[in-house]
Each structure stands twice: as structure tokens, then as C-alpha cells.
Amino acid sequence: MADGLGWTGPVVLGTALLGLGALSILKGANLNIVPESLYLYYTDYRFGFVRRGLIGQVFAPLLDRLPRHLHEPLILAWHLATLVLLLVLLTAWAARIAARAGRDMRLMALLLFVSPFLGSLAFFTGGPDVLICLLTLAAVVALRRGRPIIAWLAFLAGMLAHQLMIFTALPLMLFTSLAAPRYRRVSFAGSLALGLVACLVVVLAPPADERLIDRFITIGIPPDTARLIHDLQLDQDVAGMSRRMVGLWANFPMQGMIAVAYGGAAGIVILAYGLVTFRAALPALIPASPRLPGIAGRVLAGLLALGAGLAPLLALALAWDVSRLASLCPFTAFLAVAVLAGQSPAQPPPAGPWPAASACGVLLVLFLCMPFLGLWFEGVKLNQVRPLIPPASLSVAPWNWVVQGVEAVYRSPAAPSAFRAPP
């Protein structure tokens, strides 16, 4: 069918999304496992209730039985397998929704798959982000199908793996609960209660066992780095991390804004485009009542959608790997818009405003042509060490000029040595 409502629409769109997603992964794929990810696989509950201990609880017993030279290949294989699984599941789900919801949703889906989202996941080899995204997708789909218990279990598993689950899944779970076909109030109340408990656990969790430092050293992590991982990753002081980030934002505002714009621009455009296109679905999320007139309910639903779609940016109050976190926004924004699209009538809505469609198209072409960049406060990281495919677009003069300009900002001599990019 011309509008993509038949079988041909999802198949063709799914093929396009799969190909673009694979290209994004290849642009970011990195075969190096950094210590900031490696420690997760050796941190388990033999050392007490350790934050982020679930991944190690699964892998550590197996790694202890394997020769040391097989550890990295196993972790790399796990990383690539989960990445491919996410790509396939997200492609199938997004293609079905986008084909049904019309042209605007298809543009948003294409932008999601060429944005830095998948490239960032591929680049952060061995990190928890791919697993967190898989569990977030599972929680949203479960709530949309009226199965809150499955969603809660997915959230709990993600929380035990990494606290990032609070910023990706929890706001989306609350927003999706408003559109749940069954158990709407139970889904919302249960998700809210679970989220509050998770936040308390993060704040009140006991300090990580210092024996973990010796364990990290035995697997080849330098002593100073092992101490830093223990203190900053497993034994975080929330107030201290926030103060540190305030200082970084005050000293390096341009670097931070460049990284946020690079990682989060696609998510912001997707969310704005989706709110305008599917605005007719907002009243269904919060029905009018004497206490809450229709327009107030529509505004509240829009604000909840904004919060759910851009929630990963809140993590920047605690962590300085800026573009990595901002790059999650296209994913969460698309999920939030998909919830709205699911509330719309069966017929696709009228075409959205041309400025929004144009902005989406411009970003789509831009990210399709650009190489993958990783932007942190301490520097710009290009995937040039062990990529699966070389970043050929760097040989094109305009892109190379853009990348050199970004590097010039990050490699400013004014930056303290702790946050200065290597030459």
C-alpha cells in the first residue's frame, strides 16, 4: 500500500532501517575494551551489595574459570551480540510503528538510526549502555501490552546493572503507563514506587568493598586507575559528583554544549516533531476532569513526554562523558513519540509542519555523512584506533574541517591537564 499500512511498507522500511543502523554501528564500532567498562565484568556480589554488580555476577564466575587471554574476546563477543540483538529488535518494532503512523514517523525513525545513538553504543565497547537500552525497550513494550510485572522486572535488572536505568527507563515507564491499555493505574503507581526505591538505593547504598581494587589490579588495571574506578564508579558520592559537574560546566561551557548538541540534537528534533505531529493524542493520556481542564491536561501530557524523551540529559548533572549520554536522547525521544503515535487513530495523521520535517531531513543527511565522534569534557575521541571500517568521510574536506574545529575547542591550552585531550 502507498501509505505503508500493508506488509510491503514495514518490510521496505525495516530493510532501510537495518542497513542504516548497521552503517552507524560500523562507523562507531571499537574493538578496544576500556577499563571504565572492563571492571563491570569482575564486580559481583561476593563483595557485598555492590552497585552495578549484576553483570559481574553473571560473568565473573565464568571468567574466573577461563584463561586470562580469553576474557577480552568473550566480553567483546557479548557486546557485539547484544548490539546486533538491539538493532534487530529495534528495527522490527520501529518499522512496524513507523509504517503504520505515516510519513512523519518514518522520517523520525530514519533519523534515529543514523543519529549518534547506535554509533555511541558500538564505540563504548563492553559498557552497560546496550543492555540498558534493551531492557528499556522491553519495559516500554511490556507496558504498552498491559504487562507491568514484566516491565518492572526489566527495570530491576537494569538497575542492578547500572544506575543509568533511572534516566532511560523510569520516565518512559511513567509516561507509557498513561497509555497502557490495561492496569493503567497499577502500572503508573507501581513504576513510581519502584523508581523511588531505586533512587533511595542509589543514594543510601553502602560503600563498595575496597577489596575490589586488588581484584581490578589482578586483571591488569593499573593501581591508580583501579582506585579511580572504585571511587568514581562504584563508590560515588552523589553530592560530590554534582559539585564536580557544576565546576566543569562553569569552566568548559562551550565543550559541553558542543557535545550535547552533537549527541542530543536528533532526539530534540524527533521529540519536537513528534509532539506537533501527534498532539491530538495528548488528551487521551490525561483525560479532562473538573479539576484538570482539557488544555491543562494536554500541557501536562506534553511536559511528561518532554521529560521522558530528554531524561538522559539529566544524567549530565552527575557524569562528564557528555556525548555518550546525550546520544541516548534520540532513542528515548523516539520511544516517547511512539507511545503518542500508538494513541492516535488508525489512519495516519495529516503531514506535520514542513519546518520540522526539513530539520529532521537536514540532520538525517548530516549524520549519515559525518564520521562518528565521541565528545567528553576531557577531549574529543575519534574512532581511528581499531574501527571495523575506517572513517572514510574524514577524507572529505568539509567534514574534516568540522572535526578539526571541534578538536581545536577541546584541545585548548587553557584546559587543565586532567581534562585536556591527548595530542
Per-residue confidence of the chain (423 residues) as pLDDT tens digits? 334 344 447 888 999 999 999 999 998 888 888 777 889 999 988 888 888 889 999 999 999 999 988 999 999 999 999 999 999 999 999 999 998 888 899 999 999 999 999 999 999 899 999 999 999 999 999 999 999 999 999 999 999 999 999 999 999 999 999 888 888 889 999 999 999 999 888 888 788 888 899 999 988 888 888 888 888 888 777 788 888 888 888 888 888 899 999 999 999 999 999 999 888 888 888 765 555 666 777 788 888 999 999 999 999 988 888 989 999 999 999 999 999 988 765 566 666 677 888 999 999 999 998 888 888 887 777 766 556 666 677 777 787 888 888 888 877 655 444 444 333
DSSP-assigned beta bridge partners for residue 387: 30
If you count DSSP H runs as helices and E runs as strands, how many of each does the chain have, helices first? 21, 2
C-alpha 374: how far from chain center: 14
- Alpha helices, DSSP H, located in 278-374: 282-285, 294-310, 322-326, 329-343, 354-369
Instruction: Report how far residue 173's alpha carbon sits from residue 155's, in angstroms, rounded to the nearest whole number.
Output: 9
96 to 46, 63, 100, 105, 170: CA distances (angstroms): 44, 39, 6, 10, 24
Amino acid at position 26, single letter: L
